[in-house]
Amino acid sequence: MNEVVITTLVTAMTTIGGYLLGKRKSNAETDTIVISNVKELLGVYSNTINDLKNEIKELKDKIDKYEEQIDNMSLEIHQLRKELKKNASV
């Protein structure tokens, strides 16, 4: 009878120990997978951010070009109105 109890206890302890160690290993593997996925996402987001920065720079350059064109056209309009007034008064 004593041997049955000892065998049962050893089996139970082995089962519990195996479960706990297996769970720990499983959690470690899950953490590794999660870390890998996060690194991959960071790479994707980093590329997206760089693409958006480049696009913003291009758009700012276009805006600067258009502002310069507007300034030149405004100056030209001002000069033409001045000339028109001068010619109208002659």
Mean pLDDT of 15-25: 74
pLDDT of the residue at 3: 80
Instruction: Name which of 3-17, 21-35, 49-63 the model is least confident about.
Output: 3-17
Mean pLDDT of 30-56: 93
Mean predicted lDDT score pLDDT of the chain: 88
Distance between CA atoms of residues 87 and 12, nearest Å: 110
pTM above 0.85, yes or no: no
pLDDT tens digits for 48-74?
A: 999 999 999 999 999 999 999 999 999
